[in-house]
Structure 1
Amino acid sequence: MSLPPEKASELKQIIHQQLLKMDVHGRIREVLAETIREELAPEHQQLSTEDMIKALRQRGIVDDVMKELKFVTVLGGKAFLEHLQEPEPLPGQICSTFTLCLHFRNQRFRSKPVPCACEPDFQDGFLLEVHKDSLGDGSKMVDATTMLSICDPVHMVLIKTDTFGETTLVASYFLEWRSVLAAENGITNVAVELLGVGTESKVSVGVLNIRLEMYPQLSKTLSSEIIRTQFTLERQKTAEKERLFLVYAKQWWREYLQIRPTHNSRLVKIFAQGDCEDHANLLCSLLLGFGLEAFVCVGTKAKGVPHTWVMTCGSDETITFWESLTGHRYLHRPINPDDPPLAEQPKPLHPYRTIGCIFNHQKFFGNCQPSDAVEVCVFDLHDESKWKPMSGEAIKSVCPPGATSSVPPFPPLCASTIDAAVTSNEIEVQLRILVSEHRKDLGFSTVWDDQLSYLLSPALAAYELERTTGVSAGNEEFQDAIRRAVPDGHTFKGFPIHFVHRNARRAFATCLR
């Protein structure tokens, strides 16, 4: 029987905490020492660490133990002032919770949820592997200097889950862990100030107290001066790369403006950040990962509001737009402005009005067609009279694989923690109560037909399948079953609504509208 990765990771943490509690490491060392002494000559009564490691290797005891490990222990939080007046939850009472998620190299971790409070009671430890098999000899411990070159930070994300099960991002923080390489006993404590997101990105959310511990302890630690010098060199190297790219980007922009003056008003953003931008970046990355040719589009939607969405180019030259905030997809059918006025033109179904530029991790194109209206846009990216490309080498200079980390592979996506069947049943019960209460206020009684409810499930499954895969399953059999189930003189009416949340009250309010 195999465990899913997230369960295996959770199990490791539990075992590690239990081992520390029982001082199993010390006991194992004593037993090993006794056993090895019996086999060695009397003059070897004083065992060194080298003797131990040699004996363990001879016995073939797992090489994994010899990797460098780092413990990150979260010792609670303070100054989460938004929750200053939060009452302490009673036992069994549902309350809002904080969850801390960690990502280090290709490892993911998640803390136990703790009630939201001014001083949330985080008491969790995480075992992070610094030196992985794939990056060298797994049985050989790397020294402090080698670890200093591993520049990956520990990415920490704080998530809040409210009483309705809705999750929101509270803070994101990149923890620089390498200060522990200078700690005398391999342990250092840091207080991390978390800043908010979006419009509150300059506002402090709270503080986390964190202890970093290197295990096994390093035979030789580094001086703080060496670590500071390394950080300075890394910052200077990054700054120089960005400076050179900025010089190129300015030159590219000047050339773009020379094509026609109206380009000055087009949404060509070489540097951008925000809400829908992040969603579009994530969706584009996922689609690229699944082997599609995908780009993030920067432009406007109705009333000239700036917006970003995603575009994929099919092998048959079909262009599909993807709305990252809702999951809707639209097929792009360009209108030829040179066609005679009598020719029937397809009405665009998508909400996008203009497009200024498109990009992915390797390419950047500025739209230099006479009109930037999406409906007349031709996506022939090889035609430089329609799309001005940016130098691939320039992009690679600031965005090479592994530029922000020392290891390219990313961790697999975590499996959903939601039990679909249980959640579905809970939402159905909540919706039934809301419907009954609403009809009661209108003076109607409500009778539920469980058999009809059962007959609706194939249609619901078909709609969900179409939503997730784009494959439309025929519903003739479903219609026939409904006709047989509805009594004479009665009418069946229904249509599907898709939601991207699990809040029954919000869903019911949408249904009423």
Structure 2
Amino acid sequence: MTQLNINSVISRVIDELMQEGNQIDENQLLEALRQRGIVDEIVKSLKFQDNQTTTKEMTDNYNNQAVQSMKIDPSKRYLYVQMLGGRAFLEHILDEDRSTEKNYNGTLSIHIHFRQQRFQSRPILCACEPDLRDGFLLQLPQHKVSARSDPTSLLSIAEPIHLLLIRNEPNGDKTLLSSTYLEWRKVLSSSHNRWTTAVELNGIGPEAKLSVGLLDLKIELIPRSLEELSKDVVEAQFKLEHNRATEKERLFLVYAKRWWQEYIQIRPVHSKRLVKIFAQDENAVNRFVCSYLKPLRSQRFLDTPRQAARFVSLLAYEEAPIVGGGSRSEVWSNTLAFLCKKKGDCEDHSLLLCSLLVGFGLDAYVCIGTNAKGLFCTWVATIGVDHSVVFWDSLTGQRFNHNPINPDDPPLKKQIKVDHPFKTIGSVFNHKSFYANCQPSDNVDCCYFELNKETKWKAMNEDVIKSNCENILVPSWATAPPLSPSKIDPVIISAELERELQSLITDYRKDLDLSTIWDDNLSYILTSALAAYELERCTGISIGNEEFQHAIRRAVPERHTFKGFPIQFVHRDMRRALASSLKSPVCEEILGCRGDLVRLALRVRIFTYAEDVSAVWIMFAVTYRSVL
């Protein structure tokens, strides 16, 4: 009916009947549509074989057309989640008033995760009633062929649909507004397996009990079940799962309290060490820290563990906001929320990096301790089969070999220089184990990572950890969300940013009463230097510097001076990048250079990774003739 534009046809027919001054009822309208051939066109479009088509045949015909249009496998089951719009987004009333302004285009988008499937809605302008209308086809797991039409097998799938509401700012910044879990199995007891509901989207952190807005959803099971479950059966299943999960949670809490008492009885000083068993997520729910980790395979988007470390380091660092004064606020984001907003605290970076390293097959752990300034800090440690230990700084991507110092050894004539920024360590954990530091000193330099020795580390029971991490009250960690490929074209974007930055530099020098002449050949030569810098960040090995120096010597004329300044950003705002670059005296000297035969060079190069994360390298350069 949508393809035939039936709504406009009916409106036109109604207008014609009203102009004739007749009273319009349903029968008259249907007769008018028949006389004009509209009904015949609809019937032909449905491809009915004869006038005796039964209701079942009509339904099968509709389902077949839906299958063809959605390109789905008829032998599998799907959930079709349709967004019908948003309501009561009261915080965006001001945004709605400003939506007509030329330079304002803040948008809202919904991100969905369900069993290794991720979707994102079209961005919609921020408003009190945002027009969030989109549809997503979620594939349900296939237990067995005979169970395709058995609704009881679908009732056993306890994982909900994860909905994230993201605000996208004009400058590319993203803010997480809501993280909500939708129990979709109510569709099994709905008429014709179609269920319409209004999902309340709550806030984040301290605002977790406040509503952000309402999202109207319609969920449909495709193909629908031959039989519908009663609401009592579905509710009984929910209650049973909740009781089991609550009991598991209670038993783990009892175990954790007893384990902690045993730990502090070893040494009273242990009570002051950073042994973090529980952490609060973005929904203000306390969870066991091991449940925040799941092995994450990067598919073909990241090739090596070091490239994974580079990818994580490019995600922006942002401390959790604090309402009012006080100490540091701690919010451990789930993996999907961190990937969608593309920024987070040190623990968010460490959790993602550890998940990726475990996915690469490494024995990786998140370490909790303090840095050289005495502040709370997390990083990742990997232990090799030869018992070698490597520290990974998740914020910078740097790697440090750990060589412990025995405090009982005689003093060394030459002190070992420590190059990592970590000072103390209280505990380490991954997705299946948790250890607390039992060594006499919690100083990192004196710490031995022999985790299987009870005299050095106190371990939690792995079976208890496994039971708690499989708790269905912790739905967001059932499966790790897959990484999405980059949609950025680095060649096109690099050229656009370079032209924009050239214009900004020209205006900057114009304000200084200086003319600007660009050297295109020198600008191209700078490309190899930027590629070498990014390669060094990924591998830790400097390659290509010798060739770059040879090319510069050939490009710079005799008696001319060359100066260059490279810098890297994780955003693509060139005005902001120029302002940050000018804080360096070297860059300010290059862009404000005065002299004879001054030639400027500029190169912008983008290196893309998964999740549209990119490293933006910029190199400013100048050549001028030296005057003796």
**TM-score clears 0.5:** yes
The 5 A counterparts of 1:131-142 are: 131-132=141-142, 135-137=143-145, 141-142=148-149
The CA distance in 1 between the partners of 2:89 and 2:514, in whole Å, is 47
62-71 or 147-156, which deviates more = 62-71
- Contact 2:87/2:213 (CA < 8 Å) preserved in 1? yes
2:22 corresponding residue in structure 1 = none
Q: Give the AA of the match of 1:413.
A: L
1:251 aligns with 2:321: no
State the shift of 1:49 in Å: 6.5
Are 1:368 and 2:438 matched, yes or no? Answer: yes
Structure 2, unmatched stretches of 5+, are 8-38, 65-70, 281-330, 332-344, 584-628
The whole-number CA distance in structure 2 between the counterparts of 1:294 and 1:48 is 56
Separation of aligned partners in 2, 1:445 and 1:479? 28
Q: Is the CA contact (8 Å cut-off) linking 2:163 and 2:180 kept in structure 1? A: yes
Q: CA deviation at 1:441?
A: 4.2
CA distances 1:443-477 after superposition (whole Å, capped 9, x unpaired): 54433222111001011111112223444313111
**Equivalent position to 1:196, from 187, 192, 203:** 203
Match of 2:291 in 1: none
What is the CA-CA distance between 1:342 and the residue it aligns to? 4.6
Q: Is the 8 A contact 1:301 1:352 kept in 2?
A: yes
**Cα distance between partner residues in 2 of 1:191 and 1:512:** 50
Query: Is residue 470–residue 478 contact of structure 2 (8 Å, CA) maintained in 1?
Result: no
- Partner of 2:92 in structure 1? 83
Q: Secondary structure at 1:497's aligned position in 2? A: strand
Q: How many residues matched?
A: 478
Counterpart code for 1:68:
R
| CA distances 1:54-102 after superposition (whole Å, capped 9, x unpaired) | xx9xxxxx99214332211111112223321124645996612222111
Counterpart CA distance in 1 for 2:141 and 2:72 is 12
Match of 1:490 in 2: 560
Identity of aligned residues (%): 51
What's the secondary structure of 2:563's corresponding residue?
coil
- 1:121 maps to 2:131: yes
Q: How does 1:7-46 map to 2 (within 5 A)?
A: 30-31=47-48
Is residue 215 of structure 1 aligned with residue 222 of structure 2?
yes
- List per-residue Cα deviations over 1:416-462 (Å, max 9, x = no partner): 12222222223323333443444444454433222111001011111
Matched, 1:97 2:107: yes
Q: Distance in 2 between matches of 1:21 and 1:280?
A: 55
Amino acid at match of 2:418: P
For the pair 1:456 / 2:463, whether they are aligned, the reply is: no
One-letter amino acid of the counterpart of residue 99, structure 1: S
Question: Which residue is 1:149 aligned to?
Answer: 156
**2:178 pairs with 1:108:** no
How far, CA to CA, are the matches of 2:6 and 2:356 in structure 1? 42
Q: CA–CA distance in 1 between the matches of 2:205 and 2:74?
A: 42
Letter in 1 for 2:246: A
Using the TM superposition, give the Cα deviation of residue 296 of structure 1 relative to its aligned residue in structure 2, in angstroms: 0.8
Letter in 1 for 2:208: S
**1:63–1:261 Cα change, 3 Å:** closer
| Mean CA deviation greater in 402-411 or 171-180 | 402-411
Correspondence for 2:242: 235
- Which whole-Å CA distance do the structure 2 matches of 1:429 and 1:116 have between them? 31
CA contact (8 A) 1:67 1:140 kept: no
Note the residue ranges of structure 1 that are not aligned, 5 or more in a row.
1-16, 38-44, 57-61
Give, in whole Å, the separation in 2 of the partners of 1:301 and 1:379: 18
Q: Secondary structure at the match of 1:246?
A: helix
Query: How do 1:246-325 residues align onto structure 2 when only pairs under 5 Å count?
Result: 246-273=253-280, 274=331, 275-325=345-395
Residue 316 to residue 451, structure 1, CA distance change in 2 (3 Å): farther
Secondary structure at 1:64 match in 2: coil
Give the deviation of 1:370 after TM superposition. 1.2
Query: For 1:202 and 1:343, how far apart are their aligned partners in 2?
Result: 60
Which residue in the other structure is 2:419 paired with?
Answer: 349
What is the aligned counterpart of 2:487 among 399, 402, 417?
417
The SS at the match of 1:397 is helix
User: SS state of the match for residue 158, structure 2?
Assistant: coil
Alignment partner of 1:502 is 2:502: no
- Structure 2 CA distance for aligned equivalents of residues 20 and 373 of structure 1: 73
Q: Distance in 2 between matches of 1:242 and 1:467?
A: 43
Q: Structure 1 residues 283, 371: closer, same or farther in 2, change over 3 A?
A: same
| Paired residues of 2:159 and 2:475 also in contact (CA < 8 A) | yes
User: Quick check: 2:426–2:437 contact (8 Å CA) kept in 1?
Assistant: yes
Once the two structures are TM-superposed, the CA of residue 215 in structure 1 deviates from its matched residue by 2.8
Kindly tell me: are residues 512 and 158 of structure 1, through their superposed partners in 2, closer, same or farther at Cα, counting changes over 3 Å? same
Structure 2 counterparts to residues 425-464 of structure 1, below 5 A:
425-464=495-534
SS in 1 for 2:179: strand
- Per the alignment, do residues 297 and 20 of structure 1 end up closer, same or farther by CA in structure 2, a change over 3 Å counting? farther
1:337 is matched with 407
Query: Is 2:138 the counterpart of 1:68?
Result: no
8 Å contact kept, 2:151–2:188: yes
Check the 8 A contact 1:68/1:130 in 2, yes or no.
yes
* SS of residue in 1 equivalent to 2:491: helix
Give the C-alpha shift of residue 400 in structure 1: 4.3
Question: Quick one: distance in 2 between partners of 1:316 and 1:106?
Answer: 34
Check conservation: 1:105, 1:407, Cα contact below 8 A: no
Structure 2 contact 196–216 (Cα < 8 Å) conserved:
yes
What is the CA–CA distance in structure 2 between the aligned matches of 1:281 and 1:352, rounded to whole Å? 17
- Separation of aligned partners in 2, 1:51 and 1:171: 38
User: Relative to structure 2, which stretch is displaced further, 353-362 or 211-220?
Assistant: 211-220
Q: More displaced, 271-280 or 475-484?
A: 271-280
Cα shift readout 1:183-205 (whole Å, capped 9, x = no counterpart): 12322222222223344434432
Tell me the TM-score normalised to structure 2 length: 0.68
Measure, in 2, the Cα distance between the counterparts of 1:92 and 1:189.
Answer: 37
The residue correspondences of 1:379-394 to structure 2 (distance < 5 A) are 379-394=449-464
Q: Give SS of 2:560's match.
A: coil
Contact 2:111 2:121 in 1 (8 A): yes
State the distance in 1 between where 2:206 and 2:240 align.
32
Counterpart of 1:279 in structure 2: which amino acid? H
| Range with greater deviation from structure 2 (99-108 or 341-350) | 341-350
Deviates more, 1:396-405 or 1:467-476: 396-405
CA distance in 1, matches of 2:510, 2:162: 51
